[in-house]
Amino acid sequence: MAEKTMVEAVRDALCDEMRRDERVFVLGEDVGGGGVFRATDGLRDEFGEDRCMDTPLAEAAIVGAAIGASINGLLPVAEIQFADFIHPAFDQIVSEAARLHYRSNGAWSCPITVRTPYGAGIHGGPYHSQSIEAFYAHVPGLKVICVASPYDAKGLLKSAIRDPNPVMFLEHKKAYRLFREEVPDEDYTIPIGVAATKREGNDMTLVTYGLMTRYSLEAADVVEGDDGTSVEVIDLRTVSPWDKECVLESVRKTGKALIVYEDNISGGFGAEVAATIAQDAFEFLDGPVTRIASPDVPLAPYSSVLEEQILPNPEKIADGIRKLAAF
């Protein structure tokens, strides 16, 4: 057991899986040199160029090659340098990888993992800040994971690589080195589609994922210390499939629901969570299902002042908790 950052946990998971199964290989832009965020640092030295493979700047080719390799018995981990650049591969991911098992009547599978850093908060401007999870959570046949803690990153990435069908693995870039936590050295996995209750509470359910989990935990601690409001914080970890029963059970207990996500508020994944709560737990609610998210503007401005203005943070989340608690 050692304390690791999230990017270190991602690297450990890749190393472990490449050692465990020689079919696993990594491909992407600059991965041989360690990548922009150093997530693949050292992989080429240990596993060679054939298993840590640099590619051209062509996202469609990266994912297309990964699909072809998977059909031929390999287990590719395709890195897209930034989530903002993944859209040229949309057709390969959505029309090919996600549908291969279905349209072959189960004869073929597509065991690829597509890793990419997403999210804002690092002053990256509109081409290095996007949240893309809602696009892909809409697609049957894709699993979509959003992590922002070292322990979850390692366990869920291992599960993604071992999954027989395509998995989108989204790593919040601001969380890569934001904090450390204990991560087991031994092998472990976390089931895809299972949420984690990161904080117990009785007065309100807060549903979130990614970096917003850490911000929500900070906000919940502040509000309970100030006002005594007890907030249960649920980290979805996976947005497709997502753990509806965990969320509904908590809302039935607390009677209030606040959903926090970084993406634009309209059409964000939190809207799906809100609709499910309103449909399946309406009679238990004693306040409106509420969302905190970014406004409907391009994420994110170059200006750090404007970026801070639009993004959710612990203070905004604490204010949202207080307003909902007052109903």
36 within a domain of the structure (yes/no)? yes
Note the pLDDT tens digit of each residue in 263-297: 999 999 999 999 999 999 999 999 999 999 999 99
Segment 166-190 mean pLDDT: 97
Which residues lie below 8 Å from residue 115, measured CB to CB, with a gap of 6+? 10, 39, 77, 78, 79, 80, 157, 169, 171
What's the pLDDT score for residue 61?
Answer: 98
Give the CA count within 13 Å in the CB-facing half-sphere of 158: 20
Q: Which of 183, 205, 225 marks a domain boundary?
A: 183
Residue 236, classed as helix, strand or coil, is: coil
- Residue 272: CB atoms within 10 A of its CB come to 18
Are 211 and 159 in the same domain?
Answer: no
Q: Which domain holds residue 37?
A: 2-183
Are 221 and 297 in the same domain?
Answer: yes
**Total of domains in the chain:** 2
What's the pLDDT score for residue 50?
Answer: 96
Q: 148 falls in which pLDDT band (50, 70, 90)?
A: confident
Q: Which of 156, 183, 210 marks a domain boundary?
A: 183
CA distances from 199 to 75, 206, 254 (A): 35, 10, 13
What's the pLDDT score for residue 187?
Answer: 97
164 within a domain of the structure (yes/no)? yes
Determine what percent of the chain is predicted with pLDDT higher than 70: 100
Q: 226 falls in which pLDDT band (50, 70, 90)?
A: very high
**Where does the chain show beta strands of DSSP type E?**
2-4, 24-28, 52-54, 75-79, 113-118, 143-147, 167-172, 181-183, 196-199, 204-208, 231-235, 238-240, 257-264, 290-294
Which residues lie below 8 Å from residue 290, measured CB to CB, with a gap of 6+? 257, 258, 259, 320, 323, 324
CA distance 207 to 121: 20
CA distance 135 to 147: 17
Q: And the tokens for 321? A: 């908790």
Q: 88 falls in which pLDDT band (50, 70, 90)?
A: very high
Segment 234-239 mean pLDDT: 98
In which element (H, E) is residue 69 found?
Answer: helix 59-71
What pTM does this model have? 0.97
Segment 29-34 mean pLDDT: 97
Are 116 and 238 in the same domain?
Answer: no
What's the pLDDT score for residue 257?
Answer: 98
Note the pLDDT tens digit of each residue in 238-250: 999 999 999 999 9
- The chain-wide mean pLDDT, for the chain, equals 97
Q: 156 falls in which pLDDT band (50, 70, 90)?
A: very high
What's the pLDDT score for residue 302?
Answer: 86
Whichever domain contains 135, its CATH number is: 3.40.50.970
What's the pLDDT score for residue 300?
Answer: 84
Beta-bridged to residue 259, according to DSSP, are 207, 291
- The catalytic residue positions are 128
188 within a domain of the structure (yes/no)? no
299 within a domain of the structure (yes/no)? yes
Segment 50-54 mean pLDDT: 97
Q: Which of 161, 183, 205 marks a domain boundary?
A: 183
Are 52 and 175 in the same domain?
Answer: yes
What's the pLDDT score for residue 91?
Answer: 97
Beta-bridged to residue 4, according to DSSP, are 181
What's the pLDDT score for residue 34?
Answer: 96
- Asked whether the predicted pLDDT for residue 299 surpasses 90, the reply is no
Are 201 and 301 in the same domain?
Answer: yes
276 within a domain of the structure (yes/no)? yes
Beta-bridged to residue 233, according to DSSP, are 199, 206
Nearest to 80 by CA among 100, 99, 61: 61
Nearest to 156 by CA among 99, 210, 86: 210
190 within a domain of the structure (yes/no)? no
Whichever domain contains 272, its CATH number is: 3.40.50.920
Are 229 and 166 in the same domain?
Answer: no
Nearest to 169 by CA among 2, 4, 13, 5: 13
Are 176 and 206 in the same domain?
Answer: no
What's the pLDDT score for residue 301?
Answer: 86
